[in-house]
Amino acid sequence: FMPPVVVMILLFLSLFLITAGLDQIANPRLKDKI
């Protein structure tokens, strides 16, 4: 069983990766702006 801090970090990273992936799929032109 992992400590709650590690669980929160994993959830945050997973959500960030999912949103980043969806943004790249939906708006491929975002990379040009950044």
DSSP labels, 1-34: ---HHHHHHHHHHHHHHHHHHHHHHH-TTHHHH-
What are the pLDDT tens digits along the chain (34 aa)?
Answer: 678 999 999 999 999 999 888 877 777 665 665 5
| Chain-centroid distance, C-alpha 30 | 15
Q: Work out whether the CA dihedral 12, 15, 21, 27 comes out positive or negative.
A: negative
pLDDT of residue 28: 65
Amino acid letter, residue 33: K
What is the structure's pLDDT at 5?
Answer: 94
Q: Where do the domains of the chain lie? A: 1-26
Q: Which long-range CB contacts under 8 A does 15-24 form with residues at least 24 apart?
A: none
